[in-house]
Chains A and B, each alone.
Chain A
């Protein structure tokens, strides 16, 4: 402020003069840290601290209340969790199944729809809006809606099947059909997101390679397989990356359709649902943190593998 009121200094500009106060000089020298500090503090408070705290909890036997005394137990929770074949490993299996199957359908369907929407046609705008609809709905509302549709006794799905002479199916109520049904819901809701990403990628492709291939007499399939797809590969991997991480972490749809513990037989209990149950139903904060840390490592691992693949595709 002093600089404004003292005319002699006003002409000095931003450069330092021998009169510049010490703190200002210090601030100038460290400005890259100074400007980044608020964001860094924010990240530390909201990401690093909770993560470190979870990591710490995972090494204790905290239960009941996190304010209650807990003992440091080293890696005992990790040994317990990793040797648990009743809840933990089946949950890992379900998480993998859910993610891989949902992702596969979403990418294949997403690609098909994106290709259909790529070239302009009449009414394209409306078709696009309609296809993107599921994306904007809240997952919990979507879960509730499908739960009603799939109700084995009063739901619409079985009524429709009845019209074509197929007997009622248990859908979400069946021990073996629950997971596939939730995968279907996930595909229904999230394919549009893949469409959106792939469409953006398609639109940015240049026309020349296509034209060249056409002149060389390549068929539609050949053009897709050998021209469009390789060029689009980096975008496809982005779509898989974004959607894959999301699918791994799915909670809302599973919880809204099957409730706590992923159903009475844990039919749809993924790692996320399991960890939630451990902390909110059982108040086992130590074990729950252990599962979350392992889950976190799995996500980091798969993300790393995919990014490595993406770099390859870029080459």
Chain B
């Protein structure tokens, strides 16, 4: 069974001429679909794309990869969410040989943080395609109306500015962000780091009940409770929170920069003209946003078409494609593309500055780095929703810490 995999990208003449690629709904995917004919012409291969929403994609992988199905060759996956689980279950093929096979493609060009996140036990099992940093989205017009000349630089200033705008503009919330227990965790992480906390300490102990963490929970939840939209739901992920912001119903919004097109595209946003971007505001420990690879491409270990699967990845993550992607608004993991003025020419100027600040001091994870991420997120996310609902954030953090420690102990077994 394993013999066919030993070729390492060699002769695949027996393999199918069709590469089956499963991708998530993303700007990146739309771009790649546009460029596909070029790849098909170059290689004579045919590419079959299955495109799904994030949750459906995870479910699909769970079912198909669990069954050892070979009908997925290339898979787009979330290294921090599913990477460890997939690698541990041996769903992802070892790409050590492939990444060295082409000097021009240049694996060393990829940023170190993202590469580490797509490696398992020191071996690359994926190639990062999209990176993400958290930035502050804000409404220039509302700031001006409230007499504020510049976006807030600290979390204290953010709270004051949100209160001021909310008071001046009835019907507009001062602040909005994700509120769902699990989806909020990643965007909350920058608040946690900026208060000086983290999910786990160096010795692997749960630290979500540290003083810093308690402050961060109370701050994030309090900001949404007091200055967020009225009757706020505790189920919001980015589409819901983004909708409130782009409908003109909120002044500030902390979110991943990779989603910025949703706010600046006039077809999707009522406030496209007045959106500004700023680096993540500093807390007691400074401004410490996450800087992570949100998506990567991997090869299904059960695929019988690994050689051609790699050909697709090599093309899709090559310098030329990556530059084109970044020009259309997808932040990449390639150093050379960020260094190239062309690579940032299409970005709003303030966004480029905000991203630069994030990549400098950014933290390499935006959620607990464990195998069962979904479960861990629900545990450490509980105090967020408790704080939003007006419950005691400190008590919730203590309870979450106990549960999280037990979770970590179970996983270490």
Interface residues of A (CB under 8 A from B): 64-68, 151-154, 168-170, 172-175, 258-261, 263-265, 279-283
Contacts and interface: CB of A to CB of B under 8 A. Distances in A.
User: What 4 A-B pairs are tightest by C-beta distance, nearest first?
Assistant: A173-B233, A152-B231, A264-B181, A65-B89
A152 B233 contact: yes
B232 A152 contact: yes
A279 B63 CA distance: 10
B179 interface: yes
Interface in B77-118: 85, 88-89, 91
Nearest to A278: B375
Contacts of B233: 151-152, 170, 172-173
Contact of B181 (A65, A68, A261, A283): A261
Interface in B41-84: 55, 58-59, 62, 65-66, 68
Contacts of A172: 233, 235
B169 interface: no
Contact of B385 (A170, A258, A265): A265
A65 B234 contact: no
A263 B184 CA distance: 13
A264 B375 CA distance: 13
Contacts of A169: 231
6 contacts: A64-B371, A64-B372, A172-B233, A260-B55, A281-B375, A281-B378
Q: Which of B235, B249, B372 has the most CB of A within 10 A?
A: B235
Contact of B378 (A154, A173, A261): A261
Interface of B: 55, 58-59, 62, 65-66, 68, 85, 88-89, 91, 179-182, 229-235, 237, 243-244, 247, 249, 371-372, 374-375, 378, 381, 385, 389
Contacts of A173: 231-235
A154 B231 CA distance: 11
A175 B244 contact: no
A259 B89 CA distance: 26
B230 A263 contact: no
Contacts of B65: 65
Given A64-B372, A67-B89, A153-B249, 16 more contacts: A64-B89, A152-B229, A152-B231, A153-B229, A153-B230, A154-B247, A169-B231, A173-B231, A175-B389, A264-B181, A265-B181, A279-B62, A280-B59, A280-B62, A281-B374, A282-B374
Contact of A64 (B85, B235, B244, B247): B85
Contacts of B66: 65-67
Contacts of A279: 62
Contacts of B389: 175, 265
B229 A260 contact: no
A170 B229 CA distance: 12
Contacts of B237: 259
Contact of B231 (A68, A168, A265): A168
A195 to B, nearest CB: 32
Contacts of B68: 67
Contacts of B372: 64, 282-283
Contacts of A261: 181-182, 378
A79 B189 CA distance: 36
B49 to A, nearest CB: 23
Nearest to B377: A281
Contacts of B59: 280
Contacts of B85: 64, 283
Contacts of A66: 66
Nearest to B176: A153
A220 B232 CA distance: 49
A263 B180 CA distance: 8
A30 B234 CA distance: 63
- Most-contacted residue by chain B among A65, A66, A152 (CB, 10 A): A65
B12 to A, nearest CB: 25
Nearest to B249: A153
Contacts of B375: 281-282
B56 to A, nearest CB: 10
B195 to A, nearest CB: 22
Residue from B85, B233, B378 whose CB has the most chain A CB atoms within 10 Å: B233
Given A65-B89, A260-B182, A152 B374 contact: no
A154 B232 CA distance: 11
